[in-house]
A and B are shown apart, each in its own frame.
Chain A
C-alpha cells in the first residue's frame, strides 16, 4: 500500500522534543566559538533628523570592541542621500530605488521607531545592552506621519525629494453606471489593521568572515535569496558567500530573504574581522521585524434583490510603513483576488501605496490575499443584510459554477479547478447551519444577553504565485542503499523532511528512515527558491517527485544491464525496494547493489520543477461565536472548515497547517493590532502589550476534508499554508457582527475587541432609542 495520503508522524520531532532544535542562537559551530555579540542602537523617535552621534562613552565601557555607524560603511557604495533628486513618483516595483532607497544604518534621517542607527559590538550580551544605552544620538524631531489616511495628504513628507508619500498608484475606474443599475448598493470603509507576524523565534543572525569567505547563519525562509541579497548589498560575488539556514522558529512571511538588520550583522563581521552573533529581543522584534496587512479599504457592492451581485469595487490604501519592502506587491495581490469565489460581471479595483512613519510592511501569512477575502466577504455580508437574505444563500447564488473552470476572472486571474458550492454545502452541513440559525433565533427572541453569531466565508486564494520560478531538488541514492534529498525549499515547521522522505519512499521503495533531507545551505544547494506563498509541496515536492522518477529511470537502465534483461522487463517493487526481472524474484537487486554498480557509486538526479501557472485552493469556513452584549466580550465557540488544496500527502501535516492558519486569522479578527500614538510611538512593542492569541482564546477546530486536484503538477497539489488564515479571518469577523446585527449594527472593524463591540452596541441602542 502506498504511503501517500497516510498519517505519518514526523521524523523531525524526536530531536526537537528531546534535545531541542538548533536555531541560530544555539549554534556551537567552531567558526562561531568566541563570537562577539552585536547589539543595535535603534531610533526611539518616529521621524527626525540625526544631528550628531557620540560613541565615546560607549567605547569606554568594559567589553566594548567597536561602535559602528553609517560613517564606518566606507567599504560600501555610498548610501543614497536623503535629499536626492528625481520625482520618484508613479508606479514601480518594490523595493524602490533612487529617491525611495532604504539605507542599512540610518544616514541622516530616521523614519520609524526601531530603525537601526548604530551597532555596538561587545564580548558579552549584557555588555552590549549597557553600551548601546550609552551611544548618544541627537535627534531633531520632525512631524510624524501616522496611518495611511494621513500619509496621502502629503502634508508631511518622508522623502522630501520625492515630493509625495505615495510610491505607487493604480487608479480605480470610477464608472458608477454598473452600480446605478443595481437594486441595492452598499459602501463601507474597512480597516484591515496592521498586525505583527510574531514567529516565536525572533530574528537572529550570526556571521563570520575568514580568508575572503563570508558565512552567514540566518533565520530565514530561503538561504539562496539571502545570498543573492547579501552579495548585492556588500558588493561580493555569490561564491564568496555561504548562507546557512539552520532550524527556524517560524517565519510566516516575515523571514523571506534577509532584511537590513541582518545584512548589517554580515557587514560588521567583514568590517571587524570578528565572528558575530545577533539575536534580537522581542521588544526589538515588535518594532524591527516587518509587519503585515495594514490596508485601508473602501468597498462598494451592488446587486439585485434576488441575491445576484452585479458590481464590486475595492480601493486600497496600502500602508507601506517607512520603506518599500514588499508593500506594492500586497495590494496588487489584493486586487487580483478581489472578486474571490464569485462570478461578478463588473469588478473595479485600484490602490495607492503610501509611506508612513512606522515599521515597514511586508508579507504575513497570506500576503495580500487575506485582505482581499476580508473585503469581499464583508461586502457580501453587508449586501445580504441590505436585501434581507441569508448570507450563505447569497454566496450560493454567486459562486463560480464547477463547469466554468479554468475560470478567467475580471481581474486577470485564471482559477485552475474548484468546486465552490460543494465546499459551502459541506461546511454548512458539518456546522449544522440551520440548527445554529434556529438557536440564534431563540436567543434573540428571549433577549439573552449572550447572543449567538454565525459567520460564513467562502474563499479562493492564489498559491505558488511565482510558479514559473519553480523549485530545485537533487536526489542521490548511495551504494549503501540510503538516499539523500537536497531541496531548494526551506522548512521552518512545515514538515518538509517527513514529506519529502514520503515522496521518495513512495516512488523508490527506499524506507523513509533511510532518506535524509537537507535544506538551507548554499554550499550544498546553490540554487533554490524557498518556502513562502504556499509553494513548497506543489513545486518543491513535485521537484523531489521528478528527481525520483529520473533516478528510477537511471536505475532501471543499470539493473537491466546487471540482469542482462530488457529494460521493459525490469520492474521495481516499491514495497520491498527491490529491482527484478518481471515475475522472477530470484533476480532481485537492492538499491545498494544497483547504485554500487554505477561508475560513481551512486545514482543522482539534479532537477528543477516549474509549473505553468499558479494554483487556486479554495474552501468555506463557518465560525460560531458568543457575544456578551453587556460587556462586548466575544467567545469563539466553534470553528468549522473545508479547505481544499488538492490531494493530501500527509493529513497530519495538512491539518497542522490549517490549525495554525485558523488561529492566526482568529488573532487578527479578535485581538491583535499594532498601535501607534499620534507621535508615531509604538504602543504594542512588548508581548505584555501586544494581544497575541493564546490557548484559552480558541476552541478545538472542526475540519472537514475535500480534495480537488489541480492538473498543474504531478501531485495534483495546491498550497495549504495560508488557506486557514484567509478563510477564518472574515468568517470570525462576520460572526461577531452577525451576533449583534439584529441591533442594527452593520460593521465593526477588526480586531473586534470588547471595547469596540460594546461601543457599537451602545451606539446602536442609543440610535434606536432616538
Chain B
C-alpha cells in the first residue's frame, strides 16, 4: 500500500507491505538507522520516536497507521548542529554507554518533559519504566532528564 509520512520534516512517499512496522519503515525505507529494535513485545522502548510530538514505540505502530502524520526521530532533534537540551544533558551527565537504547531514551524524555516540564526523580523513573537500558543502571539517565528539565526551565 502507498504511505505518505513526514519524517524529520521531510515528506516520504513509498509503496510498502500492509504489515510493515513503522520502525522498519524508518530504518529500511527512510534509511534512518538511529532508531533501534531491542525487542518484539513493546517492552524495551529502544524504538521510541515522536508521532505528532508524542512518544510512541515504533515497533507497535504500522507504517500505514503513521501515514499522514509527522514523525521525529533522534536524527531530527538537533537544530543547526546544536544538540537538543536532552541530548546535551545525556552528553554532560554520561547518560549513555553503548548507545543502543539512547535514541529511544532521548525521545521518551523529550516527550516526558513536554508533558511534565519539572518532574521529580520518582516521576522521571516512573516515566521511563518502558525504556530499558542495560549499561547505565539508569542513574545518569535520570540525572540527564532532571538536568535537561532544569535547563529548559
Q: Chain A interface (Cβ within 8 Å of chain B)?
A: 9-10, 12-14, 16-23, 25-26, 28, 125-126, 198-202, 247-250, 252, 279, 281-283, 492-495, 652-653, 655-656, 659-664, 686-688, 692, 694-696, 698, 700-701, 724
Contact = CB atoms under 8 A, between A and B. Distances in A.
The 3 closest A-B pairs by CB, nearest first: A20-B34, A249-B100, A663-B137
A9 B94 CA distance: 7
Contacts of B133: 200
A694 B128 CA distance: 8
B31 interface: yes
A22 B33 contact: yes
B125 A695 contact: yes
Contact of B90 (A13, A22, A200): A13
B38 A656 contact: no
Interface string B21-43: 00010010001011111111111
Contacts of A687: 38-39, 41, 43-44, 132
Given A250-B100, A660-B134, A696-B126, 9 more contacts: A9-B94, A18-B74, A18-B83, A248-B98, A659-B140, A663-B139, A687-B132, A696-B128, A698-B137
25 contacts: A10-B94, A13-B96, A18-B75, A18-B87, A19-B75, A20-B36, A25-B33, A200-B132, A200-B134, A247-B98, A249-B98, A249-B100, A250-B134, A252-B134, A282-B44, A494-B97, A656-B94, A656-B97, A660-B135, A663-B137, A687-B38, A692-B134, A698-B125, A700-B121, A701-B139
Contact of A282 (B17, B41, B75, B124): B41
B140 A16 contact: no
Contact of B137 (A10, A14, A21, A659): A659
B94 A17 contact: no
B42 to A, nearest CB: 8
Contact of B142 (A28, A282, A656, A695): A695
B135 A250 contact: yes
Nearest to A249: B100
A555 to B, nearest CB: 33
A664 B134 contact: yes
Could you tell me the dominant secondary structure of chain B's interface residues? loop
B38 A201 contact: yes
Contacts of B128: 694-696
A199 B39 CA distance: 11
Contacts of A698: 125, 137-139
Contacts, number: 184
Given A201-B36, A493-B99, A694 B132 contact: yes
B141 interface: yes
A248 B99 CA distance: 9
B45 to A, nearest CB: 9
A674 to B, nearest CB: 15
Given A18-B87, A698-B138, A688 B43 contact: yes
A202 B143 CA distance: 27
A17 B87 contact: yes
* A248, A688, A695, most chain B CB atoms within 10 A: A695
* Interface band, chain B: 35 or more
Nearest to B81: A18
B44 A18 contact: no
Contacts of A692: 43-44, 132, 134
A25 B34 CA distance: 11
B115 interface: no
Contacts of A696: 122, 125-126, 128-129
Given A14-B91, A281-B40, A701 B137 contact: yes
Contacts of A283: 40-41
Given A687-B44, A688-B43, A17 B137 contact: no
Interface string B93-108: 0101111111100100
A9 B101 CA distance: 19
Contacts of B87: 17-18
A622 B106 CA distance: 31
Contact of B91 (A13, A660, A695): A13
B41 A493 contact: no
A399 B19 CA distance: 62
A125 B35 CA distance: 17
Nearest to B90: A17
A700 B141 CA distance: 10
B74 A493 contact: no
A688 to B, nearest CB: 4
A704 to B, nearest CB: 15
A695 B124 CA distance: 8
A151 to B, nearest CB: 29
Contacts of B92: 9
A202 to B, nearest CB: 8
A201 B39 CA distance: 9
A648 B119 CA distance: 33
Given A493-B97, A493-B135, A282 B40 contact: yes
A661 B131 CA distance: 18
A14 B34 CA distance: 13
A653 B42 CA distance: 30
Nearest to A17: B87
Nearest to A15: B99
A687 B134 CA distance: 13
A159 B103 CA distance: 46
Contacts of B99: 12, 16-17, 20-21, 247, 249, 493
